[in-house]
Structure 1
Amino acid sequence: MRTAYSYVRLSSKRQIQGYGKERQWEAIQSAAHENGWFLSDKTFSDLGVSGWKGANIETGALSQFLRCVENGVVESGSILLVENVDRLSRAGVNKAVTLLLQLLDNGISIYTFTDRKLYEPDSPNPLMDLMGWALTAQRAYEESSRKSQMILDAKSKAQKEARKTGKIITRKCPSWLKVNDDKTAFEFVPERVATVKRIFELYLAGYGTPRIGRKLTEEGRDPLIGKHWYPRSVSRILQYRAVIGEYQPTSGGKVVGEPIRGYYPAIIDMEEFREAQGIIKEGGAGKGRRSNEMRNTFAGLLRCSCGQGMHIVSSVSKGKRYYQLRCVQYQIDCFRATWNYTKFSLTVLFGLRRLPLLDVMGTTSNKDLKTLNNRVRELTEELEELKNQVDNTVNAIAAVGINTALEVKLKQLTAQVAKTEKYLDITKAELEAAHGLETVTKHDNEMLIERYKDIVDNSNTVEGRIKLNQLLRRYLSKIVLTGEKGKGQRLIEVFRKDNKCILTIECDNRFSESIITGEGFSEAYGLSKYTRREATL
């Protein structure tokens, strides 16, 4: 008795939820019984898998069956039961015929129960079988192509209407929204809107994405997707432009045209969004490991003159706890001095507070913004012209037929379009980031002037230290500490993001008096007394 194996494929959700699977399975059992074949318990099913793109052959259950054939698990002489040819492939004649010949060459027969046709390796009419298979495959491919084009046309029409009128295209939308019953408006899901706003609030306050996830879990806020909060999912929300109301049409997973602004109701202010993008562009908020206390407000910035990082260590003497800074390679590869963290912190923060604001922040050049805007316009015009040339070339091919010159030209134009689109996307991203940095600069200009002292004074709380650390990391690249054991004189150098040294502090190991020097000024500062000395530079 020959062994038969079943293969069922359903491509749409409606087919899966309907009677399609049961119908195919009943027909398979009936075919096996009528022909006296033993039906194997091992079944192969691709549910929700397209046969047009060939996914079932490449990664689906059908690919598993083919491997079983190649490995001898499915023996030669076995039969594959399937509804019809298009259940195996809708990817065109070539792929369908290749699949048939692959199975037949391995001694596997195919029975299509719709037309009760058995394709055998030793068929008396192999040419007729091949032609019949190919014709059926071609009809299936043409039908899939027609349906696909209809869907694309309908989607394109809906997208155009959405651009003109704001009409809702689909019920699929961000998880903090839902479409009302008559599909005329979006409605908020209040608890999810509050969660998204909380994410931005925490990020702008200096929390990194891992810490935001933990904070949301502590607050009992459910994840928007999945069962847990992950840094990646938080990061995606922070960069998802739907929060400011934008919808980006796509087709086949590729971006189509410009985003539709105002399609969704915005839940995050544009200034907040740009500020978040500016922070992301600068390397992100709150990176690096932190203890629950977040004791080190200079985390991620401190460097020993040996080139290694520095961290806080603590000790207790006479019931009082002391904090010191030392190189992470202390007494391993580095034997340089340790530093009193509290005195170091007070001196550096005072020195930064005495600097002119722009010395700390740097400037965002309007000239750069203008250059980027001009480049976006140039690339947009160039892309439009290239697409017109592509259309003209395609029309020429349709009119006179394909030839080598037109084929080469179309290939070159297509490559130029892809290249220009890539450059345009990069330039737009740079422009958006520049706007974000401009927003950050504007925001922090006000904050540093009005609130910097408050932030420093309130750095005795975890929240305050996080905010201060975020502020410092946003504008500084590193703080280098140079000091030898047993020697009183030490040096602190503070560097801006552009690696320009903006502040030097010469001090002794007790910080009894420090000379703080910046561009245009030099002053003496002591922890127990303070005197100012005019610039001598």
Structure 2
Amino acid sequence: MKAGIGKVFSYLRFSDPRQAAGSSADRQLAYAATWAAKQGMELDATLTLKDEGLSAYHQRHVTQGALGVFLRAIEDGRIASGSVLVVEGLDRLSRAEPIQAQAQLAQIINAGITVVTASDGREYNRASLKAQPMDLVYSLLVMIRAHEESDTKSKRVKAAIRRQCEGWMAGSFRGLIRNGKDPQWLRWSEQGWELVPERVSAVRRALELYQQGLGAGRAAKVMHEEGYELSSWGVSGQQVYRLIKLPALRGAKRLAVDGEAYMLEEYYPRILSDAEWAELQHLAGQRHRRRGAGEIPGIITGIGLTYCGYCGTALVAQNIMHRRREDGSLSDGHRRLHCTSYSKRGGCSASGSCSVVPIERALINFCSDQLNLQRLLQVGDDGQGIRQQLVVARAAVEKITKQLGKITEALLDDDSGAAPIAFIRKARELETQQVIAEQKVVQLEYGLAAVSGTSQPAQAERWEELSELVCTDDYTAREKVRQLVMDTFERIVIYMRGLDPDGRKGQFIDVQLLSRTGQQRLIQIDRRSGEWVSSEDWD
């Protein structure tokens, strides 16, 4: 749209797309064409301003629709002064609060554009409103009535949805609740919700790739190559990221009505059991779930689990890529494991660096043995360790809540009207702590559910299956083993020169393994062969 000679534009809006099937749209377009012809102006048929299914009450036609584009074009000077905008009525322009609706009308008129309402033939521009000021009052009354109608309708709709939600939770209602977006792997029929097989397959594939350790973007790329679609517009990383958080996977519908949250259990057909959902949320809550960085992603580094046994600081990997061989591979010695405290002269005198290859090789071989893995993953205390952490975390939430309650009461009792700044800061600090503490409780609850639902370990085959591919630096295989490490271990402590660095010649590397079920093992690794030569319980 270029500024120049004024043109006539027609704007149509329907809050329900089904309204567009009627004759009002044809009527308005015919009116706009006739009006333009009588005035000797050109009706711009190339620019169709139409918002179907966008609410003027919630201003979505401005934030997401054609009217918003038109208003921005006015601001940018791309709509010529002297142009005309034909609408069915002022309520088509806005049903927002009157002062906001009046401001939008004023924005259009102040740009030298005339607004014509087809329903009553009125014209609104600066000249006409100056000559007939009561027309401005009339426009305001129309906007007040339009807002009140929409506000009343909105309240009735919300009340109806609230009753339906409460009925569902009480077991007295089992119908369709029209609120929010429903998953695209479902469709509504006379019999209720039905799963869409091809979409369910795509969902399962997305979850499978995520659980293998692929990031959302990479998972979406793989799915696209394999021909999967999560929605009518395909598949994207953002969709995968949002998917793993949807309670609809376990059959629940989450919605909010006027700030009040509802969780409607068993509203949809399930894709995941409660145990599978808990395990997925446990994974989602893990830090460092992004894909490994670099050409050779680390298996034990970059995941927040691996530490120096001498000083307790994190261990990091360094791949010396400029030392690559002619075939592009790296020698074992050029893939290093560093103690951050030692490299930054932070006080660790015993560690330094070593090749990460023998540790990776030994760990994979150790976990490829079914007996070793079973011993690591057995829930010896039936999740008692996590239960104790959960008790402590819940107590922390309760303590913070009580402190916050006391401060709130003090602020409410203050009649001066000027609350001390220190109190306000403390309240905000406690609110932040409360959110963090509540998140920790949720993650521990998911962790406990995942541990409680753990079946007898049968993952050794996966470790063995991937071990050969890892040796060839297969990227995807390394990502999968990386995820297995996160699934299996809570902490990995490495003694690069053995438990007693001064008493040995450095032939062995000692590694302390703490599993997610609370089991601890110490393995001794030959740094030359990469074979683990002994293991024992660690008390």
Q: Same fold (TM over 0.5)?
A: yes
Pick closer, same or farther for the CA change 1:60–1:219 going to 2, 3 Å. Answer: closer
Pick closer, same or farther for the CA change 1:290–1:210 going to 2, 3 Å. Answer: farther
| Count of aligned positions | 473
- Secondary structure of residue in 1 paired with 2:85: strand
- Secondary structure of residue in 1 paired with 2:467: coil
Determine if contact 1:208/1:284 at 8 Å carries over to the other structure: no
CA offset digits 1:210-235 (Å, max 9, x no partner): 55445545654x21225543333223
Aligned to 1:309: 317
1:99 aligns with 2:99: no
Give 5+ residue unaligned stretches, structure 2: 345-351, 405-414, 419-427, 470-475
1:142 aligns with 2:148: yes
- Secondary structure of residue in 2 paired with 1:30: helix
Aligned to 1:257: 261
1:346 aligns with 2:362: yes
Pick closer, same or farther for the CA change 1:281–1:58 going to 2, 3 Å. Answer: closer
- Secondary structure of residue in 1 paired with 2:116: strand
Aligned to 2:185: 176
Deviates more, 1:130-139 or 1:57-66: 57-66
Q: CA deviation at 1:271?
A: 0.9
Give 5+ residue unaligned stretches, structure 1: 384-404, 409-417, 521-537
Aligned to 1:34: 38
TM-score norm. by structure 2 comes to 0.68
Rounded to whole Å, the distance in 1 between the matches of 2:218 and 2:5 is: 61
* 1:435 equivalent among 445, 448, 453: 445
Determine if contact 2:81/2:112 at 8 Å carries over to the other structure: yes
Pick closer, same or farther for the CA change 1:469–1:70 going to 2, 3 Å. Answer: closer
Aligned to 1:129: 135
Determine if contact 2:520/2:538 at 8 Å carries over to the other structure: no
How do 1:14-25 residues align onto structure 2 when only pairs under 5 Å count? 14-25=18-29
* 1:185 equivalent among 170, 189, 192: 192
Pick closer, same or farther for the CA change 1:55–1:274 going to 2, 3 Å. Answer: closer
Aligned to 1:167: 174
Aligned to 1:324: 332
Aligned to 1:367: 388
Aligned to 2:422: none
Pick closer, same or farther for the CA change 1:18–1:347 going to 2, 3 Å. Answer: closer
Aligned to 1:239: 245
Determine if contact 2:359/2:525 at 8 Å carries over to the other structure: no
Q: CA deviation at 1:47?
A: 0.9
Aligned to 2:88: 83
Determine if contact 2:95/2:150 at 8 Å carries over to the other structure: yes
Determine if contact 1:28/1:81 at 8 Å carries over to the other structure: yes
- Secondary structure of residue in 1 paired with 2:332: strand
Determine if contact 2:525/2:534 at 8 Å carries over to the other structure: yes
Pick closer, same or farther for the CA change 1:176–1:380 going to 2, 3 Å. Answer: farther
Please report the RMSD computed on the Cα atoms of aligned residues, expressed in angstroms.
5.2
Rounded to whole Å, the distance in 1 between the matches of 2:454 and 2:331 is: 30
Q: CA deviation at 1:132?
A: 1.4
Pick closer, same or farther for the CA change 1:64–1:357 going to 2, 3 Å. Answer: closer
Rounded to whole Å, the distance in 2 between the matches of 1:420 and 1:187 is: 45
Determine if contact 1:249/1:259 at 8 Å carries over to the other structure: yes
Q: CA deviation at 1:176?
A: 2.5
Deviates more, 1:193-202 or 1:502-511: 502-511
Q: CA deviation at 1:274?
A: 0.8
Pick closer, same or farther for the CA change 1:464–1:37 going to 2, 3 Å. Answer: closer
Q: CA deviation at 1:263?
A: 1.6
Q: CA deviation at 1:8?
A: 0.9
Give 1:50's aligned amino acid. S
Pick closer, same or farther for the CA change 1:236–1:3 going to 2, 3 Å. Answer: closer
Pick closer, same or farther for the CA change 1:62–1:471 going to 2, 3 Å. Answer: closer
Aligned to 1:399: none
Rounded to whole Å, the distance in 2 between the matches of 1:57 and 1:194 is: 37
CA offset digits 1:188-242 (Å, max 9, x no partner): 323333443444445445555455445545654x212255433332232222111
TM-score norm. by structure 1 comes to 0.69
Give 1:153's aligned amino acid. A
Rounded to whole Å, the distance in 2 between the matches of 1:211 and 1:101 is: 49
Rounded to whole Å, the distance in 1 between the matches of 2:147 and 2:454 is: 59
- Secondary structure of residue in 2 paired with 1:259: strand
CA offset digits 1:395-451 (Å, max 9, x no partner): xxxxxxxxxx9x99xxxxxxxxx999999886665444212212333456842xxx4
Q: CA deviation at 1:139?
A: 1.5
